[in-house]
Amino acid sequence: MSVVVKYNHLPRVIKALPREVDRAVDKTGNEGAEIARQLAPVRSGILVGTTEGKDRGRLHAEIWSGVYRGHGFYAGFVEFGANQPGGHAQPYMIPTAHLLERVLVRNVTDAVKDACDV
């Protein structure tokens, strides 16, 4: 007598995948904000204080630094430079994004494994 056992976990994996990957994206955004805060040039501390990760919905996270027309409005000038003397660029957001490429791959890989571990 032989016994054949058939598993089909695919529906459960498909259901878990978006949730796990979304979590990975949010996690990457928060990790990115932490990296950016470490790389940001510090004079008054405003850039560090206004740099944060934001969950922008499904599979979407953003990292913000400075407040538009508010504290740290000059973040773009710090990143890309200004015409004024001493206004040379001191990039910190682009290095963060560059580092996050690998972090995102790792986090999403882990999320796919978690989704499959049903």
Q: Which is nearer to other proteins, 14 or 82 (CB)?
A: 82
Q: Which residues bind other proteins (CB under 8 A)?
A: 76-77, 80-85, 87-89, 91, 94-95, 97-99
Nearest to 97 by CA among 1, 32, 9: 32
The DSSP symbol for 48 reads H
Q: Which is nearer to other proteins, 16 or 100 (CB)?
A: 100
Q: What are phi and psi of 70, to 5 degrees?
A: -135, -150
Q: Which is nearer to other proteins, 49 or 91 (CB)?
A: 91
Amino acid at residue number 13: V
Provide the minimum distance between the beta carbon of 93 and other proteins in the complex, in angstroms, as a whole number: 9
Cβ pair 54, 25 in contact under 8 A: no
Provide the minimum distance between the beta carbon of 105 and other proteins in the complex, in angstroms, as a whole number: 13
As a whole number of angstroms, the distance between CA 77 and CA 103 comes to 27
Q: Which is nearer to other proteins, 49 or 76 (CB)?
A: 76
Provide the minimum distance between the beta carbon of 94 and other proteins in the complex, in angstroms, as a whole number: 4
